[in-house]
Chains A and B, each alone.
Chain A
């Protein structure tokens, strides 16, 4: 059944947060491709060039019937797809709307200075707690890499996470169009793994009965 966006004025604002190299760019392209297939207008803002190298990256994705610029105003992101927990919290702090939803990978990728003990580490539990303080609504947390490894490859963790978005009522896209988008833009060598991870992500998400309060 088609899920309809509820209680959202204007475009659906979605942020994909992660670390350079995790495939956040690819995930945003998949979502955008699916959205235009469904007749939506899309705008995505993202980071290219040296700024990607192992640093924090995030894509701002806006889907709607009329979208102007790609930038999401502070406190107006309806849904965050968190490929890495520290980066998810970083974006949630500024952008998460009151009661906004979060799908989050539990595997923390500690920055260099944290590994050296020069700055504090954040455990996943702390991050989850801080997200609650920020007023997160629904939250889905999963070790995406472990799940993707079972599905056929750690490289498809981003697609597993995209699959989990189907747990959220306000995610406006149909599974078929996302699947079609994955087929359209994945290189043949990774296609099978990506499709499997996407399907597993959705299955996993729909098996979770209650997302409230994480």
Chain B
């Protein structure tokens, strides 16, 4: 266990943790008995921590193949009276939404907590989706924590609330909290004594649904009273302030800091809202009873702003509401402090001109101009594959195979994972990328509608198991001549090397289900497995597969270089460039672009940085002059 202290029953101890670890700790304190989910930045470390802790504390925790499978498993656990948790990133809840919308109607037994970590600005995602709407959509209670201690406490309480109301509770977090490191105070561990047991004497289904739908409405009304008891929401004011500042969940930090920065503490009313659904109307009305202006600070959508506007209308008070909807704060992108300070300063200048706002709160116009001038000079730095990454070798091989086969106008479909970087130079091969596993279905239709062109679909191993399998089944069933290239690095790589059913490194303890076996069962007539670093062979295999008019699959397989220990297994040799042969043509950088290639001298010759090179040797065939060679690492030292 990376952080042993997270296992200790040492209330009051202060530890340095990630927001995600604080949520995991909260679940441990609540005596969680079953936890599962699917990895996805920014949520991964929650379940990762629980999986590490599980054998020590005696509960069940594992990675599921996708979020729906995970949700259904947590449902089974909750039906068995166990405290269950299912954890995913925001878009993961889309995958599990079908189950969510049924289970919400059933009186569950064990506390059921659904954790969704949203990704404002889409830092590691294709969209910025506000999952508070899921709570409203489903009609389930939801909470969003403001800081690490509340994340721990709220997670712990969410199980109690779920059990009291017999319904799942959603915990919404955001990237900034999940990936924030800070100090957490540990609480008391309260293990569950009750053994899991499934009661067969009742039916666990919402069908027929009208009565359960009615009960859901009643339960949600009761949820309002239950949640009020926990006092997650806080009002700070005297009842006389003209201006109110409201912060939702983590964004409350920005509300608070903006008020402090402007020296307005005590002069404006503050409201922290951590109850997402049902919204705490009483405390909101307390604020609205005396203010004329309200700034609402929240991430992603004006969820709270719109609700507050509704409340204000009911109170029939002429209150100005500012936020993402009004245009006072940016409509898209993560909330940042600077924007909140500006918006609040603007309201105060207009409505309370008697208050002097400090002048130096933001950089001067000259300083900003200077910054913009400097930024124009700074070169872009795009993200790219690691040195020793198998994806680079595979994309390079496909580029060559397309050239050799003289395929001019291919359609190349991408999917979700590190290999999405194939959109960018030096390969710039991918043309589409939408949701997990979508490459299969999309490629199928593209091949049908563009019969003159070769359609190639890239999919990662974890993505294949997650949602690619049904799409491949369709391709096999319709025998569509798509070439599927599996970027198989044997783990869920982009989120930090979590295992899945194809992780052969774990074959000694679990049943491995190789992708090639699945493809053959799905009647893909041409299936080949190639070692990614055997680049010449990979090019040949891809050329052959490109020439076929039937469904084909080439699996390019090599462990992820970031897998613990893998780098050192690979790095027995290190690349060198013979300066006598290198003519500075830059083909190695142009076509391969490994970060280990560095400028060696003024004449434009290239060298390989021995620290960065991981010895995969897949670049050897790239040099037209044959200048790249490899030496054993000890020879270099």
By a beta-carbon cutoff of 8 Å, the part of chain A in contact with chain B is 10, 19-21, 28-29, 32-33, 36, 41-56, 67-71, 73-75, 86-87, 89-90, 92-94, 98, 110-117, 119-122, 126, 130, 133-135, 145, 154-155
CB distance from B577 to the nearest CB of A (A): 14
| 13 pairs from A and B in contact (CB 8 Å cutoff) | A43-B181, A48-B44, A49-B42, A54-B595, A68-B254, A69-B250, A73-B341, A75-B362, A93-B370, A93-B371, A111-B381, A113-B382, A155-B611
Determine whether the beta carbon of A75 is less than 8 Å from that of B363. yes
Chain B CB within 10 A, most for which of A21, A33, A49 = A49
Residues on the B chain within 8 Å of A29, using CB: 16, 181
Show the binding face of B for A, using Cβ within 8 Å.
14-16, 41-42, 44, 123-124, 176, 179-183, 250, 253-254, 256-257, 260-261, 336-338, 341, 362-363, 367, 370-372, 374-375, 377-386, 417-418, 420-421, 425-426, 494-496, 586, 589-590, 593, 595, 597-599, 611-612
Would A98 and B367 be within 8 Å (CB), given that A55-B383, A86-B381, A112-B593 are in contact? yes
Query: Closest approach, in angstroms, between the C-beta of B567 and any C-beta of chain A?
Result: 11
Known: A49-B494, A49-B496. 12 other contacts (CB 8 A): A19-B381, A29-B181, A49-B124, A50-B383, A50-B494, A54-B384, A55-B381, A69-B253, A70-B182, A93-B378, A121-B379, A154-B611
CA distance A122 to B385 in the complex (A): 23
B181 touches A28 (CB 8 A): yes
B569 to chain A, nearest CB (A): 15
Cβ contacts under 8 Å, A90 to chain B: 375, 378
**A-B Cβ contacts below 8 A, count:** 178
- Contact partners of B256 in chain A: CB under 8 A: 68
The 10 closest A-B pairs by CB, nearest first: A49-B41, A55-B383, A75-B363, A69-B253, A111-B381, A44-B181, A49-B124, A68-B253, A93-B371, A93-B374
Given that A53-B385, A111-B382, A112-B589 are known contacts, is A47 also in contact with B123, CB under 8 Å in the complex? Answer: yes
CB of B124 within 8 A of CB of A133, answer: no
For B42, B253, B418, B597, which residue has the most chain A Cβ atoms within 10 angstroms?
B253
CA separation between A94 and B363, bound complex, in Å?
A: 9
Picked from A28, A46, A51, A133, the residue with its CB within 8 Å of the CB of B374 is: A133
- DSSP class of A's interface residues: helix, strand, loop or mixed? mixed
Q: For the complex, what is the distance from the CA of A93 to the CA of B380, rounded to whole Å?
A: 14
Does the CB pair B183–A133 fall under 8 Å? no
Q: Is the CB of B180 within 8 A of A70?
A: yes
With a CB–CB cut-off of 8 A, which chain B residues contact A119? 379-380
Interchain CA distance A129-B257 in the complex, whole Å: 34
Q: Which residue of chain A is the closest to B417 with respect to CB atoms?
A: A50
Q: Once the chains bind, are B176 and A86 in contact (CB under 8 Å)?
A: no
**Interface-central residue, B250, B337, B362, by most chain A CB under 10 Å:** B337
Chain A residues closer than 8 Å to B386, beta-carbon distance: 21, 53-54
Report the separation of the CA atoms of residues A19 and B595 in the bound assembly, to the nearest whole angstrom.
11
Complex contacts, A69 vs chain B, CB 8 Å: 176, 250, 253-254, 257, 337
Q: A45-B180, A54-B385, A74-B363 are in contact. Are A111 and B590 (CB under 8 A)?
A: no
CB-contact partner of A48 in B42, B586, B593, under 8 A: B42
Give which listed residue, A48, A74, A116, contacts B41 with CB less than 8 A.
Answer: A48
Q: How far, in whole Å, are A101 and B313 apart by their CA atoms in the complex? A: 51
Provide the residues of chain B in CB contact with A75, threshold 8 Å.
362-363, 367
Residues of B within 8 A of A73 (CB): 261, 337-338, 341, 362
**Are A86's CB and B179's CB within 8 A?**
no
| Assembled-state Cα–Cα distance A133/B631 (Å) | 45
What is the CA–CA distance of A80 and B254 in the complex, to the nearest angstrom?
23
Q: Given contacts A33-B16, A55-B384, A71-B337, are A86 and B378 in contact (CB under 8 A)?
A: yes
Q: A42 to B15: give the CA distance in the assembly, Å.
A: 11
B residues less than 8 Å from A134 (CB atoms): 367, 370-371, 374
Contacts of B383 in A (CB 8 A): 20, 50-55
Alpha-carbon separation in the docked complex, A114 to B378 (Å): 10
* C-alpha gap A80/B271 in the complex (Å): 34
Given A50-B494, A53-B421, A74 and B374 touching (CB < 8 A)? no
Query: A86–B123 Cα gap in the complex (Å)?
Result: 21
- When C-beta atoms are compared, the residue in chain A nearest to B2 turns out to be A185
Are the CB atoms of B182 and A43 closer together than 8 Å? yes
A74 touches B362 (CB 8 A): yes
Measured CA separation A104–B568 after assembly (Å): 29
Chain B residue at smallest Cβ distance from A62: B182
Interchain nearest-CB distance for B504 vs A (Å): 23
> Who on chain B is nearest to A61 by CB?
B181
Which residue of chain B has its CB nearest to the CB of A56?
B381
A42 near B182 with CB under 8 A, answer yes
A55 pairs with B382, CB closer than 8 A: yes
Q: How far is the CB of B396 from chain A (nearest CB, A)?
A: 14
* Docked-complex contact B374 and A89, CB < 8 angstroms: yes
- B360: min CB distance to chain A, Å: 9
Shortest Cβ distance from A69 into B: residue: B253
A120 touches B377 (CB 8 A): yes
Contact indicator B425/A42 (Cβ below 8 Å) = no
What A residues does B378 contact at CB under 8 A? 86, 89-90, 93, 122
* Shortest Cβ distance from residue A153 to the other chain B in the assembled complex, whole angstroms: 9
Which among A19, A42, A48, A116 has the highest number of chain B CB atoms within 10 Å? A48
CA of A141 to CA of B599, assembled, Å: 22
Q: Which residue of B lies closest to A66 (CB)?
A: B260
Q: Report the bound CA distance from A134 to B378 in whole Å.
A: 14
Which residues of chain B come closer than 8 Å to A56, judged between CB atoms?
A: 381
* Chain B residues positioned under 8 Å from A33 (CB to CB): 16
Closest Cβ neighbor of B424 among chain A residues: A112
Complex CA–CA separation, A104 to B426 (angstroms): 30
B290 smallest CB distance to A (angstroms): 25
CB of B188 to closest CB in A, whole Å: 21
Determine the residue in chain A with the shortest Cβ distance to B341. A73
- Decide: B362 and A44 in contact? CB cutoff 8 A: no
Across the interface, do A48 and B367 meet the contact criterion of CB distance under 8 Å? no
Inside 8 A of A20's CB, which chain B residues have their CB? 383
Chain A residues near B420 (CB, 8 Å)?
A: 50
Cβ of A49 and Cβ of B16 under 8 Å apart?
no
CA distance A71 to B338 in the complex (A): 9
Q: How far is the CA of A46 from the CA of B178 in the complex (A)?
A: 10
Q: Which of A46, A75, A155 has the most CB of B within 10 A?
A: A75
| Assembly CA distance A67 to B16 (angstroms) | 14
A42, A111, A113, A135: the one within 8 Å of B181 (CB): A42
